Chains A and B, each alone.
Chain A
Amino acid sequence: MDRVKNWFSSDSSRGLTLIGLPFGFSLLLLAAPMLLIFFLGFWTQDYLVLDRSFSLDNYIEAWTEPMYRDLMLRSLGISAAVTLATVMLAYPMAYFISFHGGNRKALWLFLVTIPFWTSYLLRVFLWKVILGYNGVLNSALDWLGVIEEPLTFILYNANAVIITLTHAWAPFAILPIYVALEKIDRSYLEAATDLGDGPLKSFLRITLPLSMTGVVGAALIIFIPTIGDYVTPKLVGGKDGLMIANMIQVQFMKANNAPLGASLAVSAMGIVSIISLVFLALNRRWLRKRGS
């Protein structure tokens, strides 16, 4: 009896009570659907009936059908490009805010979040207006006399998807990199200067390695969800910009083959997880090497 009483007043019980509710919440809304999708992939859809016997047919189809493989590779390519472009653009911005923001850092961060004030859909549509055949960009270039014919390679293909996603995800990259840069003790940079490093050298030897955690965080935050994006490719991607998530959506809805969709989703998740882990491991090795 006493032991039960003690347990209820102990730290661990208080901890458990605290996380109990959110834990149950995430179990219900995250783990349960995931498990469902996982099992769904091993079943088969027989027109209107769901055959619940174990089968690997869906996975075999998902991994052998050239169309799915192409879509997956294209998705990975687009996500990688978006990740690279976003981090490359976000780093200078985060660097500027952290090192030259003075006492206006809060204002700059606030400005970074302004795109969030409009809905995601609206922002994607805006890019259509900007990149379109008679869009803002083409009209402007035409007016300036830079081009004779409107540029067509910027809308309804993978490029448009990359541009739109890069813009949409920029704040998610800026914030973790900014936090990593903020955490760097400025006396490290002074010490590097004191020991003879110029601005570029001290950036490469101190600032960059020490902000790498932020860069890795930003890369993963962008790479993982963009693989699964299906709104942007559908709206601005045309037929050459479609990604794996569009196919998953089609399987679940129009094609009425949820098990195949599920196996595609699980496959995509597995591939993304493996790539992320490899990326993390490579980065850790790179950091260790940079040390010397």
Chain B
Amino acid sequence: MEKKFLRDLSLDFPRGELTSLLGPSGCGKTTLLRLIAGFEQPTKGNITIDGFQMDGVEANERPTNMVFQSYAIFPHLNVEENVGYGLKRLNLGKDETARRVDEMLNLVDLDNYNKRPAHALSGGQRQRVALARSLIMKPKVLLLDEPLSSLDKNLREQMQVELRHLQRSVGITFIFVTHDQEEALTMSDRTAVMFEGQIVQIATPQEIYSRPKSKRVASFIGVMNFIEGQLLKDGDQNTTVDAGILGNVKVNPDQMPIPLNSGPVTIGIRPEMLTLLIEDQDRTEFEIGGVILEGAYFGDMTNYTVQVKGLKSPLTISMRNTAGRRVLEDGESARVGWGADSLVILNKS
């Protein structure tokens, strides 16, 4: 028997919002989704949807519908039979069923695909059929299990936008499982980050990105530079952090996602919050000298690895290649600039 542990897990999914469950594979996000759908039973605890206890309610009776990772389009049925599958139980009659199916196909941009057999659909079309098949049931919660992971990059980005529009227009609560952090950030109203069966942080994408609660969240979502430092607290208002070679910086309470006491801390700073001061007249709040170890050119951006004397590991700095800004050579000395409010103070470890 596979071990599927979810521990001390308690969270609310606000009505009409798109909440994503983000985490590495095996963290339990799909298990959580399947618990909500009713395919798995919790050993402890309970699930409530719209005020109703789901305890003892079979999967086929729950007001949830799921878009499977494989889409699970019924291979022996055509598009309209797939989409209308769940309506059959409601005995709506032929005309009403056909009307609702057409309406749904129109919503997912598959007009006139009614008679297309399942095997003749492309990946993106399957995804739309799966969506239509679920949405036609007017679920209170739509569960999506990595619905975009099998699409290629361009189609995935297009579907991210479309899915977001669709969610806003139908106003159904979406719970979206993904392991792709960019996807979670672009699509969600709120993102819940999961590690090893626990929710470690749930917040808006902006907050998760700029104010991660731990080093692990910070490095799971994008890249972050970590610097060892000391927190010096003098009352509630006056907090400074001693960042060693970077000097003493006054910080605001909101730069500490979890309240910390004086002592050793880890200071985090995103690569795009650091700048290389190329021209002599360039100025920022703080600056320090360093040497470019390596520059990786990405077209719109260049990612530099910069060694600053007195820091254990080199800093990663990403710079937008704007007009007139020159790309620095490896080995060139450079000035690294940053602002006090771009730091995040995290628990050491």
Contacts and interface: CB of A to CB of B under 8 A. Distances in A.
Contacts of B153: none
Interface stretch (B65-73, B102-110, B241-249): B65-73
A198 B86 CA distance: 11
B72 A191 contact: yes
Given A190-B68, A194-B60, A195-B86, A209 B76 contact: yes
B74 A206 contact: yes
- Residue in B60, B66, B81, B133 whose Cβ sees the most chain A Cβ within 10 Å: B60
B85 interface: yes
A195 B133 contact: yes
Interface string B29-61: 000000001010000000000000000001111
B74 A188 contact: yes
B94 to A, nearest CB: 10
A192 B68 contact: no
A191 B74 contact: yes
Interface string B131-158: 0011001000000000000000000000
Contacts of B77: 291
A197 B76 CA distance: 17
B60 A191 contact: no
A210 B74 CA distance: 9
Nearest to A190: B39
Contact of A195 (B70, B75, B76, B85): B85
B35 to A, nearest CB: 13
B66 A291 contact: no
B121 to A, nearest CB: 15
B181 interface: no
A49 B76 CA distance: 59
A10 interface: no
A188 B65 contact: no
- Residue in A191, A209, A291 whose Cβ sees the most chain B Cβ within 10 Å: A191
Contacts of A190: 39, 59, 66, 68, 72
A201 B85 CA distance: 11
- Residue in A187, A193, A195, A209 whose Cβ sees the most chain B Cβ within 10 Å: A195
Contacts of A194: 37, 59-60, 64-66, 134
Contacts of A196: 60-61, 86, 89, 137
Contacts of A191: 66, 68, 72, 74, 133
Interface string A261-289: 00000000000000000000000000100
A205 B60 CA distance: 14
A118 interface: no
Given A195-B65, A287-B76, 12 more contacts: A185-B70, A187-B68, A187-B70, A188-B74, A190-B68, A191-B66, A191-B133, A193-B58, A193-B59, A194-B66, A210-B76, A291-B77
12 contacts: A187-B68, A190-B39, A191-B68, A192-B85, A193-B60, A194-B64, A194-B66, A198-B60, A201-B89, A205-B85, A287-B76, A291-B81
